[in-house]
Each structure stands twice: as C-alpha cells, then as structure tokens.
Chain A
Amino acid sequence: MNQAAATATRTVTLEREFAHPPEKVWRALTQPELVAEWLMRNDIKPVVGHRFNFRADPMPGWNGVTDCEVLVAEAPRRLSYTWNASGEEAKTGIKTVVTFTLTPTKAGTLLHMEQSGFRAEHDHDRFFQGAQYGWQKMLGALEGVLSRS
C-alpha cells in the first residue's frame, strides 16, 4: 500500500428531499426525543461545544456508545458533530464528523448528510496488528450478524 492510500480519508454522503420545511426537519435533528425516534437514544443539544452520546444496545465487541461534540449549530441550515467510537474502541475505532446541511426547496427540504474522516485502509492495518483482539471482536460481531440473518 502506498503512503497516500494509508493516510487518505473517505466520506459517506447521502442526500434526500423531504416534504417538510427546514424548521421541522431541524427539530427532528436536534430535539433528543425526536432524534431518538429515527437515529439513536441521545442527549443532543444544538449548542456548539456540547458533548453528548448516542447509545445503541451493546453488542459483542462494542459497548454501543458513540462520543459526540457539536461543532456547528446554525438553525435551521447546518448541524455538525463529531462521531467517535467510545470506550475501549476509542483508540482503534472510527473518528468521524457528521454534517447535515438543510436547503429549502419548493417541496420542502433537501437534506444532505456527510460523514467524513473514515480511514479504512489505515485502520485495517492497525486493527489487524493486534490480531488476537481484532479477530475476537470480528467473530463476536459476526455471530450477531449471523443470528439476525
């Protein structure tokens, strides 16, 4: 692997138009009880510097917690927060930034989501250096996937 591939970060983007005004979509993105209904349990506040968590059910190899900090909160246009692995995974797990951009349209709101900072190749290398740890985690996660399918 060359150096560029090792340090490059990658991004997941998703865009969808919702038939609702930006103010309403903004509430669904920033009010904890509403966010919980479509994303995960949380204690979000649209205040720059606010630290919060997303909480999913724990599974083998992951405590289910995501560490976040609000970076941008410009109602009702832009919301950005860090999205990092928590607990034991904090060192080896993902460190990303999630950014929502709301654009008013005739029909409602165009919502653009970008999650950036994935360092896939780099992480795999590091992850698999501690082979024992990595393998056990992966097999644990795999059991979960297989039992659901």
Chain B
Amino acid sequence: MRSAPPDDVFRSLADPTRRAILERLIREGELTVRAITEESGVSQPMVSKHLAVLKAAGLVRDRREGREAHYAAQAKGLAPLVNWLEHYRAFWSARFDRLDDLLKRMDQ
C-alpha cells in the first residue's frame, strides 16, 4: 500500500472533529455514516466531508453495503508519522547544531 504524504496525514488530523471521528472508529471498529453522525454533533453532509478527507489521507477505508457506507480506521495510514529514519535524521542534525554551540563554549 502506498502511504499518503505526512503533510496530508497531519492536515487531516489537525481538525478536532476529524480526530474525534477517527478515534471513535479506532475504538468501536466499523461504523455506518449514520452511526458516526449520531454522536458527532455535526450534520451528515459535514461528516461525509470529513470522512472523505480522512480517506484521502489513507486513515480510513470505506465499504458499501446496500445503501449504507461503512467506514473503518486504517492503522497503516499513520505509518508516515512513525518514520523513524526521518525522525532521527532531523533529531541528530538539530543535536549537532547544539554540539557545535557547546564546543564553542567549552575550554580547550
């Protein structure tokens, strides 16, 4: 499976309503759009919009059954956020900057 770019994943989760929807799907498993709407506090068209964004980011997948769309969380969608290599590359680069500062302050 091809992962969505990290920016897409971040952007899609920056919205608290979308985060709440995703958290609920994680907790409760597959749900219909109607079931998601009932507890979301927003209208069904808004929920559908949020689900489309989550789907584009690879965080949920959908399945049609009769007239109802069922949505489920897709764990691998968060993989771009746990890219250890990128994380550590940035980490060490920043730490080397600090090491340089420290060396300048140290006595010979």
A and B are interacting partners: yes
Q: Enumerate chain A interface residues (CB-CB to B < 8 A).
A: 10, 12, 14, 16, 18-21, 24-25, 27-28, 34, 37-39, 94, 111, 113, 115, 118, 120, 123-124, 127-128, 131-132, 134-136, 138-139, 141-142, 145-146
Could you list 27 examples of A-B contacts with CB < 8 Å? A12-B88, A14-B89, A18-B103, A21-B108, A24-B108, A25-B103, A37-B98, A37-B102, A38-B99, A38-B101, A39-B98, A113-B92, A115-B92, A118-B85, A118-B88, A120-B84, A127-B82, A128-B76, A131-B26, A135-B78, A139-B19, A141-B81, A142-B78, A142-B81, A145-B10, A145-B81, A146-B13
For chain B, residues 32 to 71, give those with C-beta under 8 angstroms from any C-beta of chain A.
Answer: none
CB <8 Å contact, A138 and B88: no
Q: How far is the CA of A28 from the CA of B35 in the complex (A)?
A: 58
Q: Which of A18, A34, A123, A146 contacts B100 (CB 8 A)?
A: A18
Q: Which residues of B are found within 8 Å of A113, using beta-carbon distances? A: 92, 96
**Chain B's interface: helix, strand, loop or mixed, by majority?**
helix
User: How many CB-defined contacts (below 8 Å) exist between A and B?
Assistant: 86
Q: Which residues of A are found within 8 Å of B100, using beta-carbon distances? A: 16, 18
CB <8 Å contact, A132 and B82: no
Q: How far is the CA of A10 from the CA of B88 in the complex (A)?
A: 12
Q: How far is the CA of A12 from the CA of B84 in the complex (A)?
A: 9
- Whether, in the assembled complex, B4 has its beta carbon less than 8 Å from a beta carbon of chain A, the answer is no
The answer to whether A18 and B99 touch (CB under 8 A), given A27-B106, A128-B76, A146-B14, is yes
Q: Which residues of A are found within 8 Å of B76, using beta-carbon distances? A: 124, 128
- For A139, give the chain B residue with the smallest CB separation: B23
CB <8 Å contact, A115 and B88: yes
Q: How far is the CA of A14 from the CA of B86 in the complex (A)?
A: 12
Q: How far is the CA of A34 from the CA of B98 in the complex (A)?
A: 11
